Amino acid sequence: MSELAIPRRKRSWPLLALGVCAFVPGLGIFFGAGAVTWGLVSDRPRAKWGVILGGAGALLNLVGGAVLIGRFEHTPVVEQSRIEMTRRDLGAVVRELERYRGRSGRYPATLQQLVGQPIPVRLLNIYDQTAGVFVFPRVYEYHLAADGSSYDLFALGPDGKPGTPDDVRPAIPDSLLEGTGYRPVH
Distance CA 160, CA 124 (A): 18
Per the structure, how many domains does the chain have? 2
Q: Calculate the CA 140 to chain-centre distance.
A: 18
- The three-point CA angle 67-69-73 to 5° equals 125
Do 96 and 158 reside in the same domain of the chain?
Answer: yes
Residue 2 lies in a domain: no
User: Is the pTM of the predicted complex or chain greater than 0.85?
Assistant: no
Q: Are 81 and 170 in a shared domain? A: yes
Residues 173 and 145 in one domain: yes
Q: Provide the domain limits for residue 103.
A: 76-177
First to last CA, the chain: 102
Q: Across the strands, what pairs with 141? A: 154
In CATH, what number is assigned to the domain containing residue 84? 3.30.700
pLDDT at 30: 92
Question: In this structure, are 151 and 86 located in the same domain?
Answer: yes
Q: What is the pLDDT of residue 114?
A: 76
The answer to whether 156 and 139 have CB atoms below 8 angstroms apart is yes
117 in a structural domain: yes
Does 132 fall in a domain?
A: yes
83 and 167 belong to one structural domain:
yes
Q: pLDDT tens across 152-179, in order?
A: 888 887 777 888 888 888 887 766 767 6
Look at residue 90 and give its three-state secondary structure: helix
Is the four-CA dihedral 52, 55, 57, 59 of positive or negative sign? Answer: negative
